[in-house]
Structure 1
């Protein structure tokens, strides 16, 4: 008979090893994956543009291959940087999203946890130190205080804590406080780093839970199974539960309260800077010192990640509610199902070597000639002829003065100049009303129509505008004729 406890333990172990976290650490290329992800993503760089990530992973692969690390054991994956990153996104180690109209990669909660495990393991031995035991004891005491319902017991505990603080104050006033040695301070610093490493995974889990809720809400809205208001109320309740009912949510709520107090953040930053100037901190390696200095920034980035996930979820859900059309969605779903069904039917009757010509454009429907009228088969009438220019009545004289050339006056004037004349001299002798710039163009047009000959030199004339201003024009000398010469065979 199978042992029930063994079965339960084995089932839990199987479930754990199916998670992307242990899959990453247990995989064939785990050392490379951990190294590449730790290079790409840092506390100050929580997201990387997809194009940049592909290029950087390709560069890391080239460097390791040229150094001889891709030997017969095949410890490096094959393919380009793009193919490697797409594989990581497919198995759940990277998450794709859009930040400020740029498509980026972010670490998933599983990848953050895997990096935290490897970082904790590779940082050195795990010590059962005074600092960690004290942290545990203080956590148990706080839990016991919060769970204590008897006010007398709580009063006794608080009084004892106050007496201990008063005694420490008295020793400080007498100068009787002995500083901790560097070894104990180093243990406490390592404990702080240990606690700080657990925060990013918690923040990422909260952000991913919000994304999962967003997908569920959009799916419910698209299926149109329940009223929109009911779906939104459920989303709001689930968002509230995430912050209260899970360890990750509670960690986020605490961090949010911390970030909300600007003085608290400033004090944290100052304390970290002071610690890094202490002599014991010199015993920390460069990575630990950088990690200690980045604790405040890491908390801020984690909170910003969750808040960004909340804003993104609200934006997507709001857009879905505004544009939700159940009838159109059903039509699109039906069309996609018909297409997929047709592809399945086609692939059953088609060999793999069959060549298919792509559809590059949709066929055009030939409707022929459409009838334009229903009752009257006669063609439409022609428009009325244009009236002569002499019949046009202008509103006032000023409007006509700014109009086009006065052809009638110009032709009558040129008719009295003889068979040939210089165009510049003719324009200088015309009346002021017909000596506008447009009348010069009209005179050139008439001369060209009747025949003209270009002379030598340059003619300069002065035109008079209706408002009294003048404008000088220069053109090649022109000898014009009044009428065309008759053509002879």
Structure 2
């Protein structure tokens, strides 16, 4: 696939941009191989002089040098060539972590390796993974750059500048998509590598928490003893010889052990109850209890029949508001509606009238009840209790 991708591009790999990039890389490698202070100062002085001269020329109104199409093509090809290797580099780091995962798991299963040694090896390999291998060093550098928000902002700005250039329309759709998703590719690759490391750490933690080395060592000794006895028996046994083996061992006659001893406190009589008769609440009278009960249907019926006989009340709300205080409790509203429901009258639920109720403690509550016209009411049903 990499060969096909490169073959579909019209740009040559040997270009001015690539040669310049190669020269810069070789120069940096030479400085790293021979860290000469004077040489480093000389090169920095040359770069500063070149950049200062260019800045002064532009500041004095100098002409901006336009890049030719051939140079743009070389630059774009160089950028795409560098981006092509990102997924494979991250994949190699992930494969290195996955290989470490397999090795750690295998060593855990070996009885000859103590857990402490395996953990030490894991810590050493994990620390050296990002410094020993080229892939690890590249991953460490990418991780350090991603933590720099200014670097990410500059990278996005540069990529947008490349894609906004008219010459970028000559790129293949896949190449344009590759430029747009560069930051996402870097983030996804780092996330995959870190996820693989987290799975390795989870395997290590789970094995340390759940692995019973004492029990496994005892089981291994039993199996080796069985194998040793089997080899000795095979030296004298015939083809059809067999050994009686009890699948379930016989029970042991062991007297029970008492886990609870005699406690004298459990036989002691409980302490006498404290006399709290002086703290008893005040006894309620029958009238006070009745005020806390349901509606007084008998008294309400008597008042309702008297008002119907005189005809001086137009609605149920008006009747309730002129009742005595002991018949104007909030619960009496339900009792009055109960009596009115048994009468041949229409209850207008869409129209509400205010009523003022008096609670047993003297406080006032205001409610809204459906309007019931008393002029059309007949006699109250005497069966309601």
Give the TM-score taking structure 1 as reference length.
0.43
How far 1:223 moved relative to its partner? 0.8
What SS does the aligned partner of 2:35 have? coil
- State whether residues 210 and 310 of structure 1, in contact with CA within 8 Å, keep that contact through their aligned partners in structure 2: yes
Q: Are the counterparts in 2 of residues 171 and 177 from structure 1 also a CA contact under 8 Å?
A: no
Counterpart position of 1:151: 37
1:289 aligns with 2:176: yes
Quick one: distance in 2 between partners of 1:254 and 1:333? 50
Tell me the CA shift for residue 126 of structure 1.
Answer: 3.7
Deviation at 1:150, TM superposition (A): 2.2
Q: Which residue of 2 aligns with 1:251?
A: 138
Partner of 1:120: 6
**CA-to-aligned-CA distance 1:291-329 (integer Å, 9 cap, x gap):** 111111111111111111111111111111111223555
Question: Which protein shows a greater Rg?
Answer: 2
Q: Report Cα offsets for 1:209-232 as digits up to 9, x if no partner.
A: 111112211221221323322221
Query: What is the deviation of 1:132?
Result: 0.8
Does the residue aligned with 2:112 lie in a helix, a strand or coil? Answer: coil
Residues 329, 268 of structure 1: alpha-carbon distance in 2 compared, 3 angstrom cutoff:
farther
Greater RCO between the two (CA within 8 Å, min separation 6)?
2
Taking the aligned partners of 2:131 and 2:220, their CA distance within structure 1 comes to 39
Q: Is the 8 A contact 1:200 1:298 kept in 2?
A: yes
Distance 1:213 1:265, change over 3 A: same
Instruction: Tell me which residue corresponds to 2:22.
Output: 136
Deviations 1:365-415 (A, max 9, x none): 999xx9xxx9xxxxxxxxxxxxxxxxxxxxxxxxxxxxxxxxxxxxxxxxx
Correspondent of 2:127 among 226, 240, 258? 240
C-alpha separation in 1, matches of 2:62 and 2:94: 49
- Runs (5+) with no aligned partner, structure 1: 1-114, 339-364, 375-489
SS of 1:321's equivalent?
helix
Q: Partner residue of 2:156?
A: 269
Q: Which runs of 5+ in 2 are unaligned?
A: 227-246, 256-385
Over 3 Å counting, the alpha-carbon distance change for 1:278 and 1:117 in structure 2 is same
Match of 1:228 in 2: 115
Kept after mapping to 2: 8 A contact 1:242/1:249: yes
Contact 1:222–1:326, Cα closer than 8 Å, also in 2: no
CA contact (8 A) 2:11 2:77 kept: no
**Quick check: 1:252–1:303 contact (8 Å CA) kept in 2?**
yes
In the other structure, the counterpart of 1:187 is 74
Residues 49-85 of structure 1: CA distance to partner in whole angstroms, max 9, x if unpaired? xxxxxxxxxxxxxxxxxxxxxxxxxxxxxxxxxxxxx
Contact 2:94 2:196 in 1 (8 A): yes
- Structure 1 segments, 4+ long, off by >4 Å, are 327-335
How big is the alpha-carbon RMSD for the aligned residues of Structure 1 and Structure 2? 3.1
Partner of 2:266: none
1:66 — aligned with what? none
**C-alpha contact (below 8 Å) 2:93/2:193 kept by paired residues:** yes
- Counterparts of 1:207 and 1:298, CA distance in 2: 14
1:165 is aligned to 51
CA separation of 1:253 and 1:164: change in aligned 2, threshold 3 A: same
Offset, 1:265: 1.2
Matching of residue 212 in structure 1 with residue 102 in structure 2: no
Equivalent runs, 1:67-466 vs 2, <5 Å: 115-124=1-10, 126-173=12-59, 174-326=61-213, 329=216, 331=219
Q: Structure 1 residues 171, 325: CA separation in 2 closer, same or farther (over 3 Å shift)?
A: same
Counterpart of 1:306 in 2: which secondary structure? helix
Instruction: Give the TM-score of the pair, scaled to structure 2.
Output: 0.55
- 1:129·1:187 contact (CA, 8 Å) conserved in 2? yes
Q: Is the 8 A contact 2:101 2:200 kept in 1?
A: yes
Q: Is the 8 A contact 2:11 2:74 kept in 1?
A: no
Task: Look up the SS of the partner of 1:297 in the other structure.
Answer: helix
Distance 2:103 2:121 in 1: 11
Tell me which residue corresponds to 1:54.
none
**In structure 2, what is the Cα distance between the partners aligned to 1:126 and 1:321?**
55
Whether the aligned pair in 2 keeps the contact of 1:258 and 1:264 (CA below 8 Å) is yes
8 Å contact 1:214–1:313 — kept in the other structure?
yes
Equivalent residue number for residue 291 of structure 2: none
Relative to 1, partners in 2 of residues 1:122 and 1:316: Cα closer, same or farther, differing over 3 Å?
A: farther
In 2 relative to 1, CA 130–225 (structure 1 residues): closer, same or farther, beyond 3 Å? same
